[in-house]
Amino acid sequence: MKTHKYSVILGNLGNTCDRFCRSYKNNPPALEMLKAAAAIPHVTGIELVGTWDIRPDNAKQMKQALADLGIACVSIIPDVFTRPEFGKGAYSNPDPKCRRLAVDETRRMCDIALEIGCGMLNLWPGQDGYDYLFAADYDKERSLECEAVAELAKAYPQLRFALEYKPKEPRTRCYLARMADTILMAQETGCANVGVTMDTGHAFVAGENPAEAVVLAKRAGNRLFHMHFNDNHACWDDDMIVGSVHSVVFLELLYWLDRCGYAGWLSMDQYPYREDAAGAIGESIQWLVAFQAIVDRHRADLDQAIAAGDPVGTSRLMRRLLLGAR
């Protein structure tokens, strides 16, 4: 039976905001959120956002808190997306001063990662993209982004750099928009320690089938480094409970993660705006545990369904596996 490692982004347990409301909840101190995360069943890992959760001045304290709770730091996410200096891009910013600021901020997080024993930087360059036509040099800016990531990967060969893609938001078009775009960027760096983070909600908005995207990363040389889980209605990054919309999709995704030999973390990237945060995140994990149990028990049936290529037969199988129907 497959045993996955589950983690959560620490900020998911804090305040959430959007374009209309600055604060749906109070934001507890980081150590309080860390304890709440550790109390969620199956959670053994945490992702920290640089400067929000961890900084040079609190790194030792956070390392000790993680050790006390028996929680691993799965990744550090540099904040290169909320500061106004990065409004026109971080790693792809045409202004060399802004670009250097983004790289230097990421280097600080790399140093902290080494200090606390974290092996991965999750890079989400959400501001790297464009909004209007004839307003960006696509070729030049992609090259700048690639050069920045390559610089980081070569400077820190002990670390892995996982590029997280998303088709839009905060820009109307993001350069790392889909799995294929991101694999191409990783390959163009020439660095084996650069790979991809798939966020299932981002994949849905991009019109992807996540299971197929996993296979693309496998075929590109095992470039899938990390997974973020949430759900949505495929038009916006709603960060809903896993399985609340795409049940069969998640079942197939877990099947193909196993088949492709993915051994990384299943991390919850879910901002419950109005729901109880720990409860919503816990539900996502419980759905994944339940889906994985179905895959484990019925792997031979799923293998046969794929081999048969019969949609009607597969529909019957899904009803039986998910509903117990005949």
Please, are residues 86 and 98 in contact by the beta-carbon 8 Å criterion? yes
Q: Which two tokens stand for residue 143?
A: 């090259």
Residue 73 in any domain: the answer is yes
User: What residue spans of 156-232 are helical by DSSP H?
Assistant: 179-189, 200-205, 210-219
Helix (H, G, I), strand (E, B) or coil at 253: helix
> pLDDT 10s digit of each residue in the chain, 326 long?
778 999 999 999 998 888 899 888 888 999 999 999 999 999 999 999 999 999 999 999 999 999 999 999 999 999 999 999 999 999 999 999 999 999 999 999 999 999 999 999 999 999 999 999 999 999 999 999 999 999 999 999 999 999 999 999 999 999 999 999 999 999 999 999 999 999 999 999 999 999 999 999 999 999 999 999 999 999 999 999 999 999 999 999 999 999 999 999 999 999 999 999 999 999 999 999 999 999 999 999 999 999 999 999 999 999 999 999 87
Give CA–CA dist 116/112, Å, rounded. Answer: 6
Give CA–CA dist 272/299, Å, rounded. Answer: 32
- ∠98-99-100 over CA atoms, to 5°? 90
Rg (CA), the chain: 20
Q: What is the pTM of this model?
A: 0.97
- Give the residue from 151, 155, 195 showing the smallest Cα distance to 176: 195
Give CA–CA dist 110/121, Å, rounded. Answer: 7
Give CA–CA dist 289/251, Å, rounded. Answer: 10
The H or E element containing residue 82 is none
Q: Which two tokens stand for residue 236?
A: 């916006």
Give CA–CA dist 97/54, Å, rounded. Answer: 24
The amino acid sitting at 13 is: L
Residue 316 in any domain: the answer is no
Q: Write the CA distances from 282 to 6, 41, 290, integer angstroms.
A: 10, 7, 12
Residue 312 in any domain: the answer is no
pLDDT of residue 121: 98
The amino acid sitting at 291 is: F
Cα dihedral 73/75/81/84 (nearest 10): 50
Residue 286 in any domain: the answer is yes
Residue 83: count of CB within 10 angstroms of its CB: 15
Residue 305 in any domain: the answer is no
Partners of 195 in the β-ladder: 162
Q: Write the CA distances from 217 to 182, 197, 211, integer angstroms.
A: 9, 10, 10
Residue 97: count of CB within 10 angstroms of its CB: 8
Q: Which two tokens stand for residue 152?
A: 């980081």
Residue 99: count of CB within 10 angstroms of its CB: 21
Give CA–CA dist 160/225, Å, rounded. Answer: 8
Give CA–CA dist 154/166, Å, rounded. Answer: 25
pLDDT of residue 16: 84
Domain of residue 93 covers 5-297
How many distinct helices (H) and strands (E) make up the chain? 11, 10
Question: Considering its fold, how many domains does the chain have in total?
Answer: 1
Residue 171 in any domain: the answer is yes
Residue 288 in any domain: the answer is yes
pLDDT of residue 243: 97
Helix (H, G, I), strand (E, B) or coil at 124: coil
The CATH number covering residue 274 comes to 3.20.20.150
Residue 317 in any domain: the answer is no
> Alpha-carbon torsion 301, 303, 308, 312, what sign?
positive
pLDDT of residue 326: 76
